[in-house]
Amino acid sequence: MMSLPIVIVGAGQAAARAIETLHGLSCGRRIVLVGSEPHLPYQRPPLSKKFLTGDATEEQLWLQGEAFLEKADVDFRRGETALELDVTARNVTLSGGETLAYHQLLIATGSQPRRLNLAGEELAGVHTLYSIADVQRLGAGLEDAQRVVIIGGGYIGLEVAASLIKLGKDVTVLEQQDRLLSRVVSPVLSDFFKQLHEGHGVTLRFNARAQRIEGDTDATGVMLDDGSVISADLVLVAAGAVANDQIAREAGLACDNGIFVDEACRVAPHVFAAGDCARFPSRRYGRHLRLESVQNANDQARAAATAMCGDEVRYDPVPWFWSDQYDVKLQIAGLSDGHDRVSVEGDPKANSFAVSYWRGPQLLAVDAINTPRAFMQARRTLQQPPSQSTPSMAASG
């Protein structure tokens, strides 16, 4: 009887790194990769930047080629979705009707764009951005669109705004808070990005809450809660993301906008999760975290694959992130929530500075603008062993 395979549900960044790790550790089992898209595993950060502007091809997004998947003994089920998980019987049912029995299962389903449930959100010309197909639809829409309204002043919204300015579009960003990136950066950074985008011609509207998207069949604008309408030929909803944890929730596994895992990335016997869809216990931060970042997808997938091969794992990283907008690179090390003071080194007017976040004498995080040395130093400092105790599985980050 053929041994049961390792099944990986989701074919993105985390899945690719898990496959590389399993192959490198000679796990000795066939791998079945289940991906709902028709593409090879690919990186998503360029979608809002170089791929959108036409400066990167689809092939340049690939994380792994056909040859590597064949070498790693991967049976890639393209265009298939895992619909149902039975943790007792240890199998998953696919959209094509097949039921796959597994030796071990890795859920790497990532996240999906948050919907706002606005009237008019279903109109032609209203887009989200998460996949290659999303960018292709957006690109086609941009051919006949000049006025673009972006709902959301977070990283994706701002990165797309920068890309669309490069393409010569008129861009308005609607942010419901009173400053950009208010949940994740200090007012110093918010003001910097405000000036950066306005200096490139982006119109920013603050305290702007979208009430509906106007139009009959095609979107023609966005109505705000004050009754005003911002005209648009195309609308992008960039209101953040939610964990794609449906298959785990429906299987009765513990979820709360993310699948709860332990320090070894284990969800249940023989079931693991990694990447945007996973919520892990952090001793370092004293709570569960769900991180939407390439760093976490890579590192957590490697940890999960290592644990699946029987080695001891304790996953508790120093998170880091980045964002590219125009000629500015923002690099973030650590998490700044809970800080009680901020210090700034360098000159924001020169597009080169770093903001440090402190709680008492403890450094929590650093946001570095075009200062890679400050970012790397922060990562080294923050890498000191955490002293916090592990939170209970009932905790939520």
- List, for residues 67-93, the tens digit of each pLDDT value: 999 999 999 999 999 999 999 999 999
Residue 247 half-sphere exposure toward CB, CA atoms < 13 A: 29
pLDDT, tens only, 169-196 = 999 999 999 999 998 999 999 999 999 9
Q: What is the model's pLDDT at position 385?
A: 67
Global pTM? Answer: 0.93
Please list the pLDDT of the chain residue by residue as tens digits (397 residues). 359 999 999 999 999 999 999 999 998 899 999 999 999 999 999 999 999 999 999 999 999 999 999 999 999 999 999 999 999 999 999 999 999 999 999 999 999 999 999 999 999 999 999 999 999 999 999 999 999 999 999 999 999 999 999 999 999 999 999 999 998 999 999 999 999 999 999 999 999 999 999 999 999 999 999 999 999 999 999 999 999 999 999 999 999 999 999 999 999 999 999 999 999 999 989 999 999 999 999 999 999 999 999 999 999 999 999 999 999 999 999 999 999 999 999 999 999 999 999 999 999 999 999 999 999 999 999 998 645 434 433 333 3
pLDDT, tens only, 320-347 = 999 999 999 999 999 999 999 999 999 9
Cα first-last separation, the chain: 44
Amino acid residing at 43: Q
Q: What is the model's pLDDT at position 1?
A: 38
In the chain, residues under CATH classification 3.50.50.60 are 6-112+242-308, 126-239
CATH number assigned to the domain with residue range 126-239, chosen from the 4 options 3.40.50.10580, 3.50.50.60, 1.20.120.1460, 3.30.70.270? 3.50.50.60
**Distance (Å, rounded) from C-alpha 133 to C-alpha 5?**
30
CATH number assigned to the domain with residue range 6-112+242-308, chosen from the 4 options 3.90.1150.170, 3.20.20.70, 3.50.50.60, 3.40.50.920? 3.50.50.60
Residue 307 half-sphere exposure toward CB, CA atoms < 13 A: 26
Q: What is the model's pLDDT at position 384?
A: 81
CATH class in words for 327-382: alpha beta
In the chain, residues under CATH classification 3.30.390.30 are 327-382
The pair phi, psi for residue 294, each rounded to 5°, is -65, -40
